[in-house]
Each structure stands twice: as structure tokens, then as C-alpha cells.
Amino acid sequence: MDVRESVSLRALTTLKVGGTARYVIECASIEDIREGVAFARACGLPFRPLGQGSNVLALESGYDGVVLHIRIPGIAFEASGDTVTATIGAGITWDVLVDVAAARGLWGLENLAGIPGTVGAAPVQNIGAYGAEVADTLSAVEVYDPEQDAIHIYRNEECRFGYRDSRFKQERHLIITKVTFTLLANGTPRTHYPDLEARKADGASLETPADIARVVREVRSRKFPDLTQYGTAGSFFKNPILSQDAFAQLEARYPAIPRYEVAGGTKVPLAWILDHVLALRNFAMGPVSLFERQPLVLVTNEGASAHDVEALATHVASLVRDATGIDIEREVQTFV
């Protein structure tokens, strides 16, 4: 068992803030996870899984427990007619999977290219972008349940997927070990999202999964900061979903506001509110700011702390509430 003591959470999370984890255990198998859980219990400490830390905020107080650093490998494909089942280890980098599937000409994941993190973390957040989300192609999730010392498999309909939500976000004791996707050998490009339509109108080829993945990354590169230069967790807040009445009141005040009809109501792009209503593009408080090309993205610079992130995020939420009456929610989860 590979156990490290007093490990900086800045080095394990993409926001690059936070204190120290008491222990970190590298877990490349379910048996490693079992041993890590047993170690934590023997020490009387809590434990939490962590992938690449791309959607978490580590606090300055650190984590007085055991971080189970999930590194389970494995990529396997099994074809049955036009359908291909992809079974993927939780530690595989998400974008690696997107590229491997696209190189095989398999449809289903290409619109999610460029999203940081691991395959195991993807269902927790039900990651989504450019008109697609993980729930569209996921068929099953294998988890280790430390409370029962058992392995369970949850089918798609049992995962309780919602907008940036799932049962795994609520039942945090479940540790994802493997994810299975159903992909298509003969699929149809999903290019109805405005950014992709604009690139297609400019002459970009969107005929294959690899084409779409490439163009999605090009679009993302114009909106999202370089992880080698900034600390960021991508979109820090969720886009709010409003009732018809609430949206009608908002539209009366801001007639140009975009809208997307979704299950449960009308989704409003928060970036539009931050930019056009509040003029917060590139807004900064100390070493933390909203990204100049996409105000939904919070970035940290040298010397930033979790306290700085909390201060800016809380201030932005207050400004949005005062201007629109909307209480926004975070995508990023606090690591406690």
C-alpha cells in the first residue's frame, strides 16, 4: 500500500489552493481501496476518494483524514453490431477516453472533449457540455460500498442523474471503480449547440467524432484558461433553472437574456448575467478573478488561498441575488 503523509492538496486539485491532507493512498484496484479504508478506520480517521481534483475546493484547514487517490486503469471495448460497450477504469483521464473512442470512430463522447478530470468523477457531476452529458451514453457504474464491504452495479436509471447531479453526489460513501458506456459505430453528429453551429458555418468539418472533439477543444480553448498557467475548476457555478413565472419576470427586465428549455424549467446562462447584467468579466478580488473570456470560470493566481476563492464566490453570488433574485449554486464541491 502506497501511503504518503502530509500531502499538499494544492498539488492534488486544479484550483491549486488548500491545506494538507494527513494521508494520501494511491489506489489502483478495488483491493487497494479496501486496504485504504481499513487503514483509515484503524487510525480512526475519515476517508474520501479523489480523482484529479478538477471539481473540488480544498480548504486551508486541509483534510484530517485519508485521501483515496483513485488510479484504477483499464479501457476495454466490446462490439455487438453497431453498438459498442466501453468498460473504463475510474482512474483513466476523461479526455484520454474521448480520444480513444473518437479514434475508433465511436459516437457518444465527442461533445464532451476537453473536460478535465477522471472517468470515475464524470458520473458524480454528470458532466456536460455542448449539448451532451454523461448520462446520455452511460449504461452502468460499478462502485465499492465501504459500509457494506460490497461491490454494487447501478444501471443508468438507478444513478438518479440530473443537471450536474447524481446519486453519487448525494451518497458520498460510494466509491466509483468502473464505468460502462454504450457507444455507436454509426452515429449522428450533435452540432445544434450555438458554438458548434457557428464553427460549422465558418467551414469547420464536423463529420466524424474526431472532428467534433477537435472543434470542441478549439472552442473551449477560447473560453477556458490554460491549467498550466492558472488554477481553475472550470465553471464554478451552475446555470440556474427557473420556473416559467420566474423567467418571465427576469426577461421583462432583461429582454435579451438567452434561454434553454430543459426538464424542470428554463435554464438561463449564468455567464450572460455575469457579463451583460453585472459586467463581471475579469472581475478580481486579490489573487482570484473571473476569467476574462468566460466569467463563469473562476481562476486563481500565485498566492491565492481557499479563503480568497470563498470570498469572491460569495460576493459574486450576492451580486447575482441582488440583481436578479436568483440564488446560484456551485458546481464545485468543497473537499471536507
Distance CA 312, CA 253 (A): 26
Residues 6 or more apart in contact with residue 273 via CB below 8 angstroms: 257, 320, 323, 324, 326
> Strand 63-70 relative to strand 47-50: parallel, antiparallel, unpaired?
parallel
- In this structure, are residues 277 and 323 in contact, taking their beta carbons and an 8 Å threshold? yes
3-state secondary structure at position 222 = helix
**CA separation (Å) from 157 to 76, 162, 166?**
23, 11, 11
Annotation says 331 is catalytic: yes
Q: What are phi and psi of 4, to 5 degrees?
A: -115, 145
Number of residues that this document lists for the chain = 336
Q: Which of 54, 166, 235, 289 is catalytic?
A: 235
235 flagged as catalytic: yes
Beta-carbon count within 10 A of 325 CB: 12
> Out of 164, 166, 289, 305, which one is annotated catalytic?
164
User: Hey, is 15 helix, strand or coil?
Assistant: coil
Which member of 60, 218, 310, 331 is catalytic?
331
* 139 tagged catalytic: no
Q: Which residues contact 227 (CB under 8 A, 6 or more apart)?
A: 14, 116
Positions marked active-site: 164, 235, 331
